[in-house]
Structure 1
Amino acid sequence: MRNQLLANSSFIGKDLSQINENVFFHYMENADSDDVFNEYLIDLWKTYNTSSFYKNKPKMLHKNVLNDYKVVRNLKMDVDEKGLAKLNYYYNMNHQTEIDRNIQFGDILKMRSKDQNKYILCITPHCDCLHPDNINGLYFFVKGSETGIGNGLKAPDAEYISFIKSDKEEIVCIEWSLKPFTIYLCAEQRKINGSHSILYMNNPCKVQYVASLKDNYTQRISNQAFSHSSRVGIPFVKTNGANSDSSSS
């Protein structure tokens, strides 16, 4: 077993391989779950290997190489909305997630109802997703609706939107509402490898996992959503004599 582990991990480099293997097994035996330990190892390997790109910049990233490529390919620099949306899709999606697991922070579920253009995004913190009993199975979500790609491209870094792929492999833009709410999910409903019935606003609704956002994109939406409850209403008198009650965050 040790030889197999060493052989499989040989690609990660001498520095990482020199960490005392007893430490790894100690953490494996004391981690909260197998998923926690596996995520730790994957993140460790990923961080170690990608760091080499910053230390030794690949030749293909040098500007003169890229400029030569443009000349050889005779690129006209013509872009359309679909192309830009697809680039944003690769920007904001987590493409390294598995589906044989429970729901977690950043997962997007599509609501399979009469209105086919609605989605919910899980903004429940990672630690609570790992220990759902701590939150009594009540997960935090925000709701989103499809919007035109053109609308999403106007100010994608200023609005709260995401780019995903539809069932037809087309890029879809989702605009998120920033009012968080909770949905109770039992043990079976927490699994994302199938379609499940849940209660949404006291109405039964079918949902199915479609994609996962990267953590930083989800965190930005989550931060804004949870700040919604911290708004404070203050009364003022307007020039027309009528009282107003404004809220600010």
Structure 2
Amino acid sequence: MDFNTVAKEIVSDSICSALCIDNAFDEPYAPTDYPEKDSFKIPKELYESFKAQNCILDIYKYIDLKDWEGKRESILKNKDLLILDWELTDGDPPYKDALEILLEAVKTESLPFVYIYTQEIDLDKVILNICAYFSGTTSEDLRQKYESLCEELEDTTDIPEVEDSDKLLSGMKEICKEILIKGDLSEDIEDEIFGYLQKELDTDLGGAKRYYRTLCKIGQKHFETETRDDIFKPIGIILNPSHCREEPVSEIDIHPISDEQYAYLIHNTIVKISTKKLSTTEGIKSDVVSPEEVYSDLSRTIWKRPRNFLALLGLEMRNLYRGRSSVIGKDLNEIDEIAFFKHQKSFEDTDEQERFYEFLKNIWKEELSSFLLDQSSALFSVLDEYKNKNNIEDGLETLQKNQEKFIDDLSKLNYYYSVLRFDWKNPRKIRFGDIFSITFEKNGDSEEDYSYLLCITSHCDCLRPQKVEDSLNFVGGKKLKLKKGLEIGDSGCVSYIKANEEIVCIEWRKIPFTIHIALNGNDISKPIKCIFSGRDITLDYLATQKENYTQRIANAAFSYASRVGIELVGL
């Protein structure tokens, strides 16, 4: 098979269960006197097209957010795709509730795909509102920053004079919209800005560039952005009518998928936006998508996405695990449960039910993973074709010449390799591999020895801390520059975590120590109060590092205590 065939099969296998949310759709095959009405015809055609692809489609007729909130957890559970109607209400704006559901969808880690199905012909309006909603600020805050920007531009004397900065910037409305939609500031767009400024300021190219540099500098200060590209995004939201969230969310990133129009990666969720083919859109010249085409339209977007090897690899592993998980526990049917309860009773007598359940979970974890030993990846069978087609060797040469450019991506890869990306919802005790931030009681202005702690206490003692009198083993560490961490590589003791959406590298000091953790305070779901070196400290849980990575650090730390000092005379 070639790469495209393998990619198509992986995508097809990854979309097994879908949910469609629409306020106008009726249940497919429900009794009706009007079978040609869109409210009946479209969901029926959707249902049949997904059924033909061996995908189960559920229809949820949207009422309001209150009804949705009460059902969303069970409705979204185990879904691979959400088809979301954009105009869910008759309110102003009609897409306000859809934006809130989109936010919940992209935050649902088990949901990889969203398809926004809208009556809107101008899809630019849809993505503008999505960008505004996830901009991390309110309309009022944006307006205040924009006005401050305009005032400072008018007061600046070393650039071509402008009486009305708002009027000048308003002329860049379409340019800023293009930057929002495309996601970055290309050289062509930058040249377009220079040309516009030359004309409006009646100046030469040098004067236009000087004004542009000042605009970027002042804009970055007021909008608190890191790059020039980013100042034109809030300006674009101000100049183009759009809907910001009343309570902003700042951790949602939006990246356009290259070579695919109106397809975006939003918080690692692939989101495609398309116009519905309705009876009212007949004859309108627009790229509308019929219900029968929704599945193929989304599928094509996923497998044709450039640089998609890692995404497809993740989907392939997901498909393999899903297939295997269905057989877990099947062999237990032939065993008399009394034999099982005899084993369970031995733990009950020693008040170690938690350890017994941990034992069972490890059994099933190994059962689930063992099948990979006998599996081969279809994707890796076409690896060479993919690398040749995408000029990977050229990319590796670029990396070698400009390693600085890849520091963030290499660090993200190390984070992905070494840390469990799982949000613990229930209270639990500290475990081997848990990483904490540490806050010391005030001690003047002296710098603390440690900013982070890593638990290196053995699993059995973590489960039964009373065995070690609630004194757990840790090592301490401090933040290290990502570049330095990558240079150290696997020769040192470093970890990678994510804090406030940023990758942080921690270098651990290979000296173990114990901290007494009170039994009633041993719960990572809340701050843990304890004492270290005679000082009150607070531990806040950050992440759990995978076992092999933690064991290596633990080995290095505990071997420190085994060193022996000797004296020999030398020449």
Unaligned runs of 5+ in 1: 1-8, 240-249
1:3-14 equivalence runs, <5 A: 11-12=326-327
Which residue of the partner structure matches residue 44 of structure 2?
none
TM-superposed CA distance for 1:52, in Å, is 2.3
Name the SS of the counterpart of 1:173 in structure 2. strand
- Asked if residue 28 in structure 1 is aligned to residue 361 in structure 2, the reply is no
Count of residues in Structure 1 that have an aligned counterpart in Structure 2: 228
Name the SS of the counterpart of 1:88 in structure 2. helix
Give yes or no for contact 1:145–1:176 (8 Å, CA) kept in 2. yes
Q: Which amino acid aligns with 1:106?
A: G
1:144-223 equivalence runs, <5 A: 144-166=477-499, 168-223=500-555
Give yes or no for contact 2:434–2:544 (8 Å, CA) kept in 1. yes
Query: Structure 2 CA distance, aligned partners of 1:10 and 1:165?
Result: 29
- Asked if residue 42 in structure 1 is aligned to residue 361 in structure 2, the reply is yes
Which residue of the partner structure matches residue 469 of structure 2?
136
TM-superposed CA distance for 1:97, in Å, is 7.0
Q: Which amino acid aligns with 1:11?
A: S
Which residue of the partner structure matches residue 375 of structure 2?
56
Name the SS of the counterpart of 2:507 in structure 1. strand
TM-superposed CA distance for 1:216, in Å, is 1.2
Name the SS of the counterpart of 1:232 in structure 2. coil
Deviations for 1:173-216, whole angstroms, at most 9, x for unmatched residues? Answer: 11101111111110132111111221111111111111111111
Which residue of the partner structure matches residue 246 of structure 1?
none
The change in CA–CA distance for 1:172 and 1:19 in structure 2 (over 3 A counts) is farther
- Asked if residue 235 in structure 1 is aligned to residue 550 in structure 2, the reply is no
Comparing 70-79 with 95-104, greater Cα deviation is found at 70-79
Query: Structure 2 CA distance, aligned partners of 1:106 and 1:53?
Result: 24
Query: Structure 1 CA distance, aligned partners of 2:325 and 2:528?
Result: 41
- Specify which structure has the bigger relative contact order, considering alpha-carbon pairs within 8 angstroms and separated by 6 or more residues: 1
The change in CA–CA distance for 1:19 and 1:102 in structure 2 (over 3 A counts) is farther
Name the SS of the counterpart of 1:58 in structure 2. coil
TM-superposed CA distance for 1:35, in Å, is 2.9
Query: Structure 1 CA distance, aligned partners of 2:482 and 2:543?
Result: 18
Q: Which amino acid aligns with 1:196?
A: I
Give yes or no for contact 1:27–1:37 (8 Å, CA) kept in 2. no
**Alignment RMSD, CA only?**
2.7
Q: TM-score, normalised by structure 1?
A: 0.80
TM-superposed CA distance for 1:122, in Å, is 0.9
The change in CA–CA distance for 1:39 and 1:21 in structure 2 (over 3 A counts) is farther
TM-superposed CA distance for 1:56, in Å, is 2.5
Give yes or no for contact 1:12–1:45 (8 Å, CA) kept in 2. no
Question: Of residues 443, 447, 459 in structure 2, which corresponds to 1:126?
Answer: 459
Q: Which amino acid aligns with 2:565?
A: G
Which residue of the partner structure matches residue 438 of structure 2?
111
Give yes or no for contact 2:328–2:364 (8 Å, CA) kept in 1. no
Deviations for 1:137-186, whole angstroms, at most 9, x for unmatched residues? Answer: 111111011101111111321101111111x1111111101111111110
Which residue of the partner structure matches residue 96 of structure 2?
none
Give yes or no for contact 1:145–1:174 (8 Å, CA) kept in 2. yes
Give yes or no for contact 1:123–1:222 (8 Å, CA) kept in 2. yes
Aligned identity (percent) is 35
Which residue of the partner structure matches residue 81 of structure 1?
407
Query: Structure 2 CA distance, aligned partners of 1:34 and 1:96?
Result: 23
The change in CA–CA distance for 1:136 and 1:18 in structure 2 (over 3 A counts) is same
Deviations for 1:26-66, whole angstroms, at most 9, x for unmatched residues? Answer: 3334336343233333322232222222213131232x2x3
Question: Of residues 409, 420, 432 in structure 2, which corresponds to 1:94?
Answer: 420
Give yes or no for contact 2:436–2:539 (8 Å, CA) kept in 1. yes
TM-superposed CA distance for 1:17, in Å, is 3.9
Name the SS of the counterpart of 2:568 in structure 1. strand
Give yes or no for contact 1:97–1:212 (8 Å, CA) kept in 2. no
Unaligned runs of 5+ in 2: 1-323, 400-405
More helix by share: 2
TM-superposed CA distance for 1:217, in Å, is 1.2
Q: TM-score, normalised by structure 2?
A: 0.37
More strand by share: 1
Deviations for 1:83-109, whole angstroms, at most 9, x for unmatched residues? Answer: 111111111113357352000111111
The change in CA–CA distance for 1:171 and 1:209 in structure 2 (over 3 A counts) is same
Comparing 215-224 with 116-125, greater Cα deviation is found at 116-125
The change in CA–CA distance for 1:186 and 1:238 in structure 2 (over 3 A counts) is same
Give yes or no for contact 2:518–2:530 (8 Å, CA) kept in 1. no
Structure (1 or 2) with the larger CA radius of gyration = 2
The change in CA–CA distance for 1:185 and 1:14 in structure 2 (over 3 A counts) is closer
TM-superposed CA distance for 1:19, in Å, is 5.7
Query: Structure 2 CA distance, aligned partners of 1:193 and 1:152?
Result: 29
The change in CA–CA distance for 1:181 and 1:14 in structure 2 (over 3 A counts) is closer
Q: Which amino acid aligns with 2:485?
A: G
